[in-house]
Amino acid sequence: MTVKRGPGRRPGSADTRGEILAAARRVFAEKGFDKATVRGIAREAQVDPALVHHYFDTKEGMFAAAMRLPLTPEVVVPALLDGPREEIGERLVRLLLEVTATPETREPMIALIRSAMTHEYAASMFREFVSNALLFRVADTIGVPHLRIEAAFAQMFGVVMARYVLRLEPMAGAEPEELVELLAPTIQRYFTP
Amino acid sequence: MTVKRGPGRRPGSADTRGEILAAARRVFAEKGFDKATVRGIAREAQVDPALVHHYFDTKEGMFAAAMRLPLTPEVVVPALLDGPREEIGERLVRLLLEVTATPETREPMIALIRSAMTHEYAASMFREFVSNALLFRVADTIGVPHLRIEAAFAQMFGVVMARYVLRLEPMAGAEPEELVELLAPTIQRYFTP
């Protein structure tokens, strides 16, 4: 990969990736998800856009990394497509329960949701990322109408909130397999238009 | 109704109900839902407990009134039982969409949820009210296991959040009847063990 160096541009260094992510967090916070650009983030980080592309394939991937979110279309889509279509609901429920079971991957998601619940600006960034970058891309790839993937999102969003934030029993202490059995048919139905 | 008047007790006046509710908000905030008592709220309001019972049949009803919540077991249970068992999911979805359609009834619920998402104390009060006073009483009356009513709660909680707080399109602008058609079978399945 050729990296052009202009005035004020720095070459890749040990923590260039970290500097790009810090710049990305500032730019996303200032412009929101839709209006932020790879070019603008490169400028903020004082690096060449090609270097940003070297570390992050897509703006979605950079946002997820900057917000420390474990879920991107690149993670979700292959997991959904890897197996029989009639078990897609089960695979999604299992993936989401696994990702949220670990505090290291769960807490950044919950932090973003908390901000989105209480600040309109964070809500609009969450909305742009979740709907345009995550849900609609997954929905369009697997052929599910947008309203139906949002119904599935609402189900799993509610489960994660009830289990980890509100900590309603018996939901909070339920075994993952019990939840898979209960929830997978719901998601399967939304994904079978 | 006979109201005993002791030292420092005030008789019913034009805004006695409002004073009891203000006292209830202070006591619920201090003690949480489970530990608050009608007697303690009467003491805080400097009225006889019988007067509190005159205005509010139950602690749940008082909490709902104090927090301006439109949903109590007294509202939900009759709506669910009033019709064929195989349409109970449809009746619940329709009731919740109607109650949340009006800002006056929706906003106090969302305010309580916002607090519960960001303050552990409010989360524990929300947990006690929603699970013990609302969900479990409804579940036990209509014969549904607690985990299943919480799955139904999670679905509708997620829909209300997606529609009114995160404002994800097309969920936010969807017609109520379209949502009833999409969501009623989910709730019906949870309510049919």
Report pLDDT digits (tens) over A80-125: 889 999 999 999 999 999 999 998 888 888 888 888 888 887 888 8
The H or E element that residue A28 is part of is helix A16-35
Which of A165, A183, A189 has its CA nearest to residue A97? A183
Which of A100, A80, A68 has its CA nearest to residue A174? A100
Which of B90, B80, B85 has its CA nearest to residue B187? B90
Average pLDDT estimate for A170-181: 97
Does the pLDDT of residue B147 top 70, yes or no?
yes
Is the Cβ pair B147, A170 closer than 8 Å? yes
- My answer on whether B156 and B94 are in the same domain is yes
Does the pLDDT of residue B36 top 60, yes or no?
yes
Q: What is the DSSP string of A84-147?
A: -GGGHHHHHHHHHHHHHHSHHHHHHHHHHHHHHHH-HHHHHHHHIIIIIIIIHHHHHHHT--HH
Smallest Cβ distance to B185: which of A131, A154, A189? A189
pLDDT tens digits, one per residue of B74-124: 888 888 889 999 999 999 999 999 999 998 888 888 888 888 888 887 888
- My answer on whether B92 and B184 are in the same domain is yes
Which of A128, A135, A186 has its CA nearest to residue B155? A186
| Predicted pLDDT of residue A13 | 61
Provide ipTM, 2 decimals.
0.82
Smallest Cβ distance to B186: which of A146, A169, A186? A186
**Domain membership flag for residue B57:** yes
Between CA A33 and CA A44 the distance in angstroms is: 15
The residue with greater pLDDT, B102 or A71, is B102
CB neighbour burial string for A5-15, b if at least 16 within 10 angstroms, e if fewer: eeeeeeebeee
Note down the domain range covering B39: 16-65
Which of A139, A132, A143 has its CA nearest to residue A59? A132
- My answer on whether B90 and B118 are in the same domain is yes
Q: How confident is the model at residue A135 (pLDDT cuts 50, 70, 90)?
A: very high
- My answer on whether A49 and A121 are in the same domain is no
- My answer on whether A103 and A186 are in the same domain is yes
- My answer on whether A95 and A25 are in the same domain is no
Which of A61, A68, A72, A161 has its CA nearest to residue B156? A161
Is the bond preceding residue A170 a cis peptide, omega within 30 degrees? Answer: yes
Chain A contacts of B97, Cβ < 8 Å? Answer: none
Smallest Cβ distance to A166: which of B123, B185, B190? B123
- A151 → chain B, closest CA residue: B159
Q: Residue B164 has which token pair?
A: 């009114």
As for how many domains chain B has, the answer is 2
Burial class (CB in 10 A: 0-12, 13-18, 19+), A106: middle
- B172 → chain A, closest CA residue: A147
Burial class (CB in 10 A: 0-12, 13-18, 19+), A193: exposed
Q: How confident is the model at residue B14 (pLDDT cuts 50, 70, 90)?
A: low
Window from A83-97, B5-19, B41-55 with minimum mean pLDDT: B5-19
Q: How confident is the model at residue B185 (pLDDT cuts 50, 70, 90)?
A: very high
Average pLDDT estimate for A67-76: 82
Q: How confident is the model at residue B13 (pLDDT cuts 50, 70, 90)?
A: low
Domain boundary among B36, B65, B94: B65
For residues B45 and B38, is the Cβ–Cβ distance under 8 A?
no
Chain A contacts of B162, Cβ < 8 Å? Answer: 150, 153-154, 157
Above pLDDT 90, what percent of chain B? Answer: 49
- My answer on whether A97 and A156 are in the same domain is yes
Smallest Cβ distance to B130: which of A146, A168, A170? A168
Q: Which of residues 91-120 of B touch A (CB under 8 A)?
A: 113-114, 116-118
pLDDT tens digits, one per residue of B66-82: 888 888 888 888 888 89
Chain B contacts of A164, Cβ < 8 Å? Answer: none
Q: Please state, rounded to an integer, the average pLDDT across all residues of chain A.
A: 87
Chain A contacts of B167, Cβ < 8 Å? Answer: 123, 127
Which residue in B33, B34, B146, B166 has the most chain A C-beta atoms within 10 A of its own C-beta, making it the best mutation to test that interface?
B166
Q: Is A123 on the interface with B (CB under 8 A)?
A: yes
Q: Residue A49 has which token pair?
A: 């856009």
- My answer on whether A116 and A183 are in the same domain is yes
Smallest Cβ distance to A168: which of B131, B165, B169? B131
Q: SS3 helix, strand, coil % of chain B, rounded to 5?
A: 75, 0, 25
SS3 B68: coil
A126 Cβ contact list (under 8 Å, min separation 6): A112, A113, A115, A116, B166
Which of A141, A147, A155 has its CA nearest to residue A93? A155
For residues A24 and A41, is the Cβ–Cβ distance under 8 A?
yes
Smallest Cβ distance to A150: which of B151, B153, B171? B171
Between CA B179 and CA B36 the distance in angstroms is: 38
Chain B contacts of A123, Cβ < 8 Å? Answer: 165-167
The distance of A165 to chain B (nearest Cα, Å) reads 6
Above pLDDT 70, what percent of chain B? Answer: 93
- My answer on whether B51 and B89 are in the same domain is no
Above pLDDT 70, what percent of chain A? Answer: 93
Residue B27's CATH number: 1.10.10.60
- My answer on whether B142 and B167 are in the same domain is yes
- My answer on whether B27 and B91 are in the same domain is no
A123 Cβ contact list (under 8 Å, min separation 6): A116, A117, B165, B166, B167
Average pLDDT estimate for B169-181: 97
Chain A contacts of B117, Cβ < 8 Å? Answer: 113-114, 117-118, 161, 165
**Domain membership flag for residue B52:** yes
Does the pLDDT of residue B1 top 80, yes or no?
no
Q: Please state, rounded to an integer, the average pLDDT across all residues of chain B.
A: 87
| Predicted pLDDT of residue B96 | 94
- My answer on whether B55 and B136 are in the same domain is no
